[in-house]
Amino acid sequence: MARVRALHQPRGRREQGLVLLEGTHLVQECRRCGLQPELLIATPAWLTGHAALAGAWPCKPVTAELLTAMASTESPDGVIALVAPGALPPPPPSPQPASEGLWLALDRLQDPGNLGTLLRTALACGVGGLWLGGGADPWQPKVLRASAGASLQLPVQRLEALETLVTAALAVGWQVLAAVREGGEPYWAVDWRAPSLLLLGNEGAGLAPELLAVAGVRRVSIPHDGRVESLNVAVAGGVLLLERWRQVTVDRGESSAAGLGH
């Protein structure tokens, strides 16, 4: 039990080389993505009801009480899985010349819910990869749950800082768009069909001044009612990413769209 509970923290994940996935939905995403968990830990009732999902994966039955003690949630739904990071998508490659595409960089984002929501939205909008300049650990349980499985499919890499990435993106011809509260170009005036790196900043402080000071970085804003000082970063990111998706799909003549999720 102590070994699994240690995976709630970054140190435990580093030492054991494992990531903790909690709940039936993330286990289903593992199966859908072709990932191989090191171990499923589940209650007998869950195993009885999900025999086809568990398949031939290694499995350890435990009581509901013991599973609750190992999980980070108060009311786990009967299963957790241990997955090696090597089974997850590799980090995004360094910026290369491209005719189109969108990549995302998050500067010191702290809230796990915001990070998970942005991972989910990024995957839905066709983002090619995501870099994190510090901030929340993308493999902590809260982020994994909030991403609804997107973390298992989207290439993600943590960096100490983002300045080198921004410089490299500009050098290969990407437009680098920095989301700012006010004073930037209206987001709908940007040609998002060009290869782009979108920068989103910390919930309180926004983007670091050194990122905004890099020559060639363009500032983009979401005009909104002045009674609200700023938008939540996950909401703002969703607006920008979906505008890119709209422009790309309209340009390609695509008219169908998937339904909204829950």
27-54: pLDDT as tens digits:
999 999 989 999 999 999 999 999 999 9
From residue 87, alpha-carbon distances to 13, 17, 21, 58 in Å are: 14, 11, 13, 15
Number of domains the chain contains: 2
Q: Cβ contacts of residue 176 below 8 Å, gap of 6+? A: 166, 169, 170, 196, 197, 199, 214, 216, 217, 218
Residue finishing a domain among 36, 60, 87: 87
Between these two residues, 230 and 145, which has the higher pLDDT value?
Answer: 145
pLDDT-derived band at 85 (thresholds 50, 70, 90) equals confident
In a domain, 210, yes or no: yes
Containing structural domain, residue 36: 2-87
In a shared domain, residues 109 and 206: yes
In a shared domain, residues 188 and 235: yes
In a shared domain, residues 205 and 236: yes
Residue finishing a domain among 62, 87, 112: 87
Q: How far apart are CA 34 and CA 153, in angstroms?
A: 10
In a domain, 200, yes or no: yes
In a shared domain, residues 106 and 226: yes
In a shared domain, residues 113 and 237: yes
In a domain, 97, yes or no: no
- The CATH number linked to 229 is 3.40.1280.10
**Which residue reads 């909401």 in tokens?**
235
Encoded tokens for 176: 């680098």
In a domain, 240, yes or no: yes
From residue 92, alpha-carbon distances to 64, 102, 217, 241, 251 in Å are: 38, 12, 21, 18, 26
Average confidence (pLDDT) over 81-87 = 90
Q: How far apart are CA 179 and CA 212, in angstroms?
A: 10
Percent of the chain exceeding pLDDT 70 equals 95
pLDDT-derived band at 214 (thresholds 50, 70, 90) equals very high
Which strands sit side by side in the sheet containing 79-83, from one edge to the other? Answer: 19-22, 79-83, 39-42, 59-61
In a shared domain, residues 227 and 171: yes
